A and B are shown apart, each in its own frame.
Chain A
């Protein structure tokens, strides 16, 4: 009898909990889709974004302050980290960049040749290559490849270091993680990106030439002459400037997201994804801004 009573009581309680849960869920569902709920969730989202931007600015300020601050010793070890970064971001990416650049150069020429002959504009091939590749696609595509290869690697590496207490271990030894981990990566990635950008442009022009040779039977010297005639110093300057700024932005956003990992290894892939999104957004914004300022 008492067991039956206990069983009924227990189920009564469970039913009560279930009923309460259903009511709670229904109320929260109605609230979320009401105007007040919409404004509340939008306000929360907006405030979290503002907080993220403030945190990122504080992080950037800390890096600048650390970078210009004096520190006796430690240069040799930082140089070692920097060389490793250049090797990984720059040297190891050369084959991939060459393939992508050859393809993009060739594709640009093929696409141009679908409409240029209609009004006798074959001689504008050089201008098109310079405008499309050197000014825009070169820095952007190189940036995307570096985000995919090295930006994700930086976020993952720093995130895993945070989870396994390696960042704390560095701090406990008096080693500033910004100086030891971040600064060499910023310098290494920026130098690599500027160099890869030039490398991309060369291979894209080569790709364009190979396609032109197949279709128009052009020889290399006149093709190169047309390219060189189309080049103005400002195009090269803007291309290198974009590479420089993109390098800084990618290394900053990737390392910032790495340090955002706190305790759990499940945060690492989440932060890596956020790092990629941040870096791509930053690249497009910076690209748009530089192009607007420079050409208008």
Chain B
């Protein structure tokens, strides 16, 4: 249960000569929901993409199930990723494919399934996510909430054991946010599925995270169980948390301003 599924060792990356992530090391236990949080621009999404093998770091290693993913061959890395899911901040659905075909894509590509079997599995997911009405729509015609739900559906159709999320409940309306949370809770409770999530939403983190990784200015400031982090009396840690709360309030204020026309 507590076996390490993902291990990040001393990872650093620079952009334009400036160090963006500095010597990050952390171990992610299997079957847990680990959230990576921190103020805007601290490198959360970059760390998530490095952990998923999408961006190679300048230095350091990442092991998934004991395999050093940046020293594995290109082909074996693609094979490994069959068992991962990744839900992007903007959903990143393939723009020229309908919702149905987006969800069917990994099944058609990786598994030699009959057409009927693919349809059966995709329709099961579509119904589970209340997406049947929009199955023939292209991503451009969907709201962000619908796109994110479709993105999660696409990630889940291959029954992954490790899922990466980049801000899954941010930037969407309340109804879709609740739908998204309703789909995330059973995943969190499944001991075979590990969730690694970048999130700015402290309410969500406080309610659902098992572990919290707190990034600040490209460094891993704190990493541990939720209660250890949230109840910590470290003044710097509390200050960083307050920055995240302030940013959240600012975003909410800006959205409200846009909605009411008082920018």
Q: Which of A62-93 contact B (CB under 8 A)?
A: 66, 69, 71-74, 76-77
Residues of B within 8 A of A66 (CB): 74
Most central of A161, A171, A180 by chain B CB within 10 Å: A171
Task: Please name all residues of chain A whose beta carbon is closer than 8 Å to the beta carbon of B78 when the two chains form the complex.
Answer: 171, 174-176
Residue of B nearest to A177 (CB): B78
* Bound Cα distance A74, B113 (Å): 10
Residue from B95, B106, B111 within 8 A of A173 (CB atoms): B106
> Is B132 positioned at the interface, with any CB of A under 8 Å from its CB?
no
Contacts of B95 in A (CB 8 A): 160-161, 164, 166
Contact between chains at A174 and B79 (CB < 8 Å): yes
The answer to whether B92 and A169 have CB atoms under 8 Å apart is yes
A76–B93 contact, CB under 8 A? no
The contact of B81 among A69, A71, A172, by CB within 8 Å, is A172
Q: In the bound complex, do residue B94 and residue A170 qualify as a contact, i.e. CB atoms below 8 Å apart?
A: yes
- CB within 8 Å for A175 and B92 given contacts A73-B110, A168-B54, A169-B86: no
Known: A172-B52, A172-B84, A176-B78. A164 touches B110 (CB 8 A): no
Which of A77, A171, A173 has the most chain B CB atoms inside 10 A of its CB? A173
> How far apart are the CA atoms of A170 and B88 in the complex, in Å?
11
B32-76 interface code vs A (CB 8 A; 1 in, 0 out): 000000000000000001001010000000000000000000110
B171 → A minimal CB distance (Å):
15
Chain B stretch 79-100: residues in CB contact (< 8 A) with chain A = 79-82, 84-86, 88, 90, 92-95
From B49, B85, B108, B112, contact of A168 by CB (8 A): B49
B residues less than 8 Å from A74 (CB atoms): 108-110
Please tell me which one of the listed residues A71, A76, A166, A176 contacts residue B92 in the complex, with CB atoms under 8 A apart: A166
Q: CB within 8 Å of B: which of A30-69? A: 66, 69
Asked whether A11 is an interface residue with its Cβ less than 8 Å from the other chain, the reply is: no
CA distance A168 to B74 in the complex (A): 14
Which chain B positions have C-beta within 8 A of A164?
Answer: 90, 92, 95
Interface size on B, residues (CB 8 A): 29
Give the nearest-CB partner of B102 in chain A: A169
- Binary flags per residue of A165-203, CB closer than 8 Å to B gives 1, else 0: 110111111111000100000000000000000000000
> Of B74, B85, B105, B112, which one neighbours A175 at CB under 8 angstroms?
B105
Does residue B216 face the partner (Cβ distance < 8 Å to A)? Answer: no
Determine the chain A residues whose CB is within 8 A of the CB of B92 once the complex forms. Answer: 164-166, 168-169
Chain B residue at minimum C-beta to C-beta distance from A172: B86
Given contacts A160-B95, A176-B78, are A73 and B109 in contact (CB under 8 A)? yes
The answer to whether B110 and A166 have CB atoms under 8 Å apart is no
**A160 and B140 alpha carbons, distance in the complex (Å):** 13
- On chain B, the residues within 8 Å of A165 by CB distance are 88, 90, 92
Residues of B within 8 A of A161 (CB): 94-95
Q: How far is the CB of A182 from chain B (nearest CB, A)?
A: 14
Contact with B along A10-36 (1 / 0, CB 8 A): 000000000000000000000000000
Given known A168-B49, A171-B81, contact A77–B105 (CB-CB < 8 A): yes
User: What are 16 A-B residue pairs whose CB atoms fall within 8 Å in the complex?
Assistant: A72-B112, A73-B112, A74-B110, A76-B108, A77-B108, A166-B95, A169-B86, A171-B78, A172-B54, A173-B81, A173-B106, A174-B78, A174-B84, A174-B110, A175-B105, A175-B110
Beyond the given A168-B49, A169-B86, please list 8 additional residue pairs across the A-B interface where CB-CB is below 8 A. A74-B110, A172-B85, A173-B82, A173-B106, A173-B154, A174-B79, A174-B84, A174-B109
Chain A contacts to B: CB under 8 angstroms: 66, 69, 71-74, 76-77, 160-161, 164-166, 168-176, 180
